[in-house]
Structure 1
Amino acid sequence: MLVEFSVENYRSIQEKQTLIMVASEDETMLDSNTFSIPNNDDLRLVTSTAIYGPNASGKSNLLKAMQTLKNLVINSASRMQIGDKLPVEAFRLNSESAKKPSSFEVIFIRDDIRYEYGVSLNRERVFEEWLIAYPNEIQQNWFSREYLPDNPKFQPDEGYKWSFGKGLKGEKKRIQRFVRSNSLFISHAAQNNHPQLTEVFIFFQDEINILLHIDTPYIVDDNNNKNFQNQIAKLLTEADTDIADLKIESTPETLNSSLTYFLQQEMENRGMNISMKDITDVGKLDIITVHKMNDSEQEVEFDIDDESDGTQRLFEIAGLWLYVLEYGEVIFIDELDRSLHPVLSKALIKMFNNPEINKNNAQLIFTTHDTTLLDDEIFRPDQVWFTEKDNSMTQLYSLLDFRPRENESLQKGYLLGRYGAIPFINGLTI
């Protein structure tokens, strides 16, 4: 469960910006759009969050920030070598910020324990890394590292000051020796099967799912694969696409080395730990849609490329969408409404806001330009966020800041600029 995510000095984000998933005291749609966290009935989290804003306002950068952090946690120990550059980009439109590290902080809950994890780093090295845990809601500072290059006491350890709390059991010092200036302790701890820290690693690896601009579908590959394929087909059918069934087949295909390397890099960028052999063994997926004739029960097969852009878009996200709902995970998706009809977008979002479907408290965070979602009783005010540029830097803020009146038209108010986060058109004629 995601509670908060903060980012500072990353791409278009200069000052610290925080996305909060904690529900306000508003009782509107409390039972459907929020859920209580374990061992604390007074604190509730929202099931979904929509982020609005003009083009180039930084909506996507917020999602990219989470993707960057996820990739660092998963790959910095196993995929990076000494001297490799860390995949971060500081805010470049300010001379001081351009020299400073980027920072990421996440508050989340896994197996009834709340965690606060943070890192500060630039392309050359990690400056800070820390983890606080709250077993039984009691604060325990499990570990921290801080770069102190000017203190000769710490020079033998590349200038780092380390601290380990009593609550963190198991091996620590041995794992610490593996950590490089460009790798994360949490990543090495998971590589060495540390029982407590592996739980934190698994949250980033398995429970945070991020879809940016994609053109290939997410295929669930587990023992329930056929079951999920049937669910995807059912979702497509219910979306009025005329698809009666799906056929997904894998055929062997020889890939040249350059293409294999490209695919490996793309998968790693999405946080997927996969080798070149894995890619070669996968082969090619043939995705076939099955339609029924309109004058008989005879079935006709189509390649997925023959389907409309909207159907292809729905198929791209359907597998992961259903998987996240099934297992109570978190999904970030950029431009949810791309190629989708507004009615379909609403139906998909309502799956997360329906406790009969979302039985395991999955969470959805997405960016969109679809203002029709604002006036259809889908969201509470604490579920709507905006981004806009101020002095060339991204500002993130909540609809709650404006205290909208009951029955106020949020779509009209947004389009009239009442909440900001709309484009200013200069010199264009319509």
Structure 2
Amino acid sequence: MLLKFRLQNYRSVRDVQELTTLLAETRSPHGGFPVRFAHGGAVRVSPLVGVFGANASGKSTVLRALGSLRALAAAGSDAREAARRFEPFQLDPAARLLPTRFEVEFVLDGIRYVYGCAYKSGEIAGEWLHAHGRDRRRVWFERDRHTTRCLPEAGLDRLAAAVDPETTLLAFGADAEHPWLAPIAQWLGGLRRVRIAAGARLVADLDRLAARWSDQLTLLLTRADLGISGVDTSTSTLRLIHEGRSGPQPLGAYVESDGTIAWLDLLIELLHALDHGGVLLIDDLDAILHPVLLTEALRLLRDRDLNPARAQLIFTARSVPPAAEGAEVLEPDQCWYAVKGADGATSLVREGRAPEIGPGELARELWLAKQRLRP
């Protein structure tokens, strides 16, 4: 599971910012999952993290950064292309000369790993991979522009000598199916940025999904107030049942509303993650879904019985989902806020702030400006 992510000098982020899924305290039975280490001890990790903020506050930058880190650890050509997309903080001339830095902490098979990468345009300026035990840190490798230091028993010397300056050693090792590096790259490949938008009309793999989650899919669709009363799986193509004057009518997905299609696409991604785990990254989730559906989607992931693979969702939205049935949908530790300072740099903070322009104020300011322009 993902524990922490740090980024620096990327798009609207200038200084080091950290996003964590670790929960400091539990206020409800839904306060996260216990994750145990092989050497003993445990931490409580959240399956949900929301990043909230106004338009252009930088909240989407966090998801883009995680997606870029995933690409840097992917197959060789993808890693080189990601390194060429150098996007430093533009409002400070000094930042344009510095590399972008990403670092992620996660737990895999009971071991806590730290992987990081620093890069400029077409150049890996630094890279490191550490494994943490009870009392010590094992440096699997550390690399800069000129040297690479590897753990002797890892057998990475030959790979380190052959990797080119535009490719991460992790991606190169994964391509070579190195037994130590391939599982790490595979975990990072589970950081999946999902693009869902009303009107896109994707709906892929719905028939395969229905065979595994037929009862749950029926419940999630009929309870969503979409006018759907059931799911018809009697044919090779799944159809949704609507009530008409002549009785129930099964209809194909092509006639459904854009909002229904977006909900189906999200369910496909969520239910697949509940089966296989991984980290889903979804931008502007409240722009896609009605608040009721958003609440139901979050409840799927925080349910220990429905989420045995410990899938996680990191999403952005403009505001925190409202309380449902007298209970908060998200714990305070699961909420982060993206805010911009006077210098234009994004910070991630625990406490949000009220918008500087209240309802109706912008319209009044525009009206007053128009009056001043009149002769």
Deviations 1:205-253 (A, max 9, x none): 1x22212455354645998773257754543233232333367x99xxx
Q: Give unpaired runs (5+ residues) of structure 2.
A: 366-375
The aligned counterpart of 1:123 is: 121
Contact preservation (8 Å) 2:83, 2:124: no
- Which of 401, 420, 430 is the equivalent residue of 2:353? 420
Contact preservation (8 Å) 1:342, 1:370: no
In structure 2, distance between residues paired with 1:234 and 1:27? 29
Pairwise CA distance, 1:21: 0.8
The aligned counterpart of 2:226 is: 241
Contact preservation (8 Å) 2:195, 2:283: yes
The aligned counterpart of 2:3 is: 3
Residue 73 (str. 1) matches residue 73 (str. 2): yes
Query: Which stretch of the first structure deviates more once superposed, 90-99 or 212-221?
Result: 212-221
In structure 2, distance between residues paired with 1:143 and 1:63? 26
The aligned counterpart of 1:199 is: 183
What's the TM-score once normalised by structure 1's chain length? Answer: 0.75
- Which of 96, 99, 104 is the equivalent residue of 1:98? 96
Q: Structure 1 residues 140 and 225 mapped into 2: Cα distance closer, same or farther (>3 Å)?
A: farther
- Which of 78, 83, 86 is the equivalent residue of 2:84? 86
Contact preservation (8 Å) 1:57, 1:388: yes
The aligned counterpart of 1:208 is: 191
- Letter matched to residue 15 of structure 1: D
Deviations 1:46-79 (A, max 9, x none): 121111111000000110000111112113x144
In structure 2, distance between residues paired with 1:91 and 1:112? 36
Deviations 1:298-353 (A, max 9, x none): 5342443x322321211221111111122232111111112422111111111122
- Which of 343, 364, 370 is the equivalent residue of 1:429? 364
Contact preservation (8 Å) 1:84, 1:182: no
What's the TM-score once normalised by structure 2's chain length? Answer: 0.85
The aligned counterpart of 1:174 is: 158
Pairwise CA distance, 1:94: 0.5
- Letter matched to residue 381 of structure 1: P
The aligned counterpart of 2:36 is: 38
The aligned counterpart of 2:368 is: none
Query: Which stretch of the first structure deviates more once superposed, 369-378 or 352-361?
Result: 369-378
Q: Structure 1 residues 64 and 218 mapped into 2: Cα distance closer, same or farther (>3 Å)?
A: farther
What is the Cα-based RMSD across aligned positions, in Å?
2.9
In structure 1, distance between residues paired with 2:140 and 2:207? 34
3-state SS of paired residue (2:339): strand
Pairwise CA distance, 1:169: 2.2
Query: Which stretch of the first structure deviates more once superposed, 34-43 or 357-366?
Result: 34-43
Residue correspondence of structure 1 range 123-162 to structure 2 within 5 A: 123-135=121-133, 138-147=136-145, 160-162=146-148
Q: Structure 1 residues 356 and 225 mapped into 2: Cα distance closer, same or farther (>3 Å)?
A: closer
Contact preservation (8 Å) 2:34, 2:44: yes
Deviations 1:237-288 (A, max 9, x none): 33232333367x99xxxxxxxxxxxxxxxxxxxxxxxxxxxxxxxxxxxx86
Deviations 1:131-173 (A, max 9, x none): 00125664210001112xxxxxxxxxxxx2110024x523x22
Contact preservation (8 Å) 2:7, 2:102: yes
The aligned counterpart of 1:291 is: 241
Residue 388 (str. 1) matches residue 339 (str. 2): yes
In structure 2, distance between residues paired with 1:213 and 1:301? 22
Residue 163 (str. 1) matches residue 96 (str. 2): no
The aligned counterpart of 1:111 is: 109
In structure 2, distance between residues paired with 1:355 and 1:174? 44
Q: Structure 1 residues 135 and 162 mapped into 2: Cα distance closer, same or farther (>3 Å)?
A: same
Q: Structure 1 residues 218 and 298 mapped into 2: Cα distance closer, same or farther (>3 Å)?
A: closer
In structure 1, distance between residues paired with 2:249 and 2:88? 54
- Which of 319, 325, 329 is the equivalent residue of 1:378? 329
3-state SS of paired residue (1:325): helix
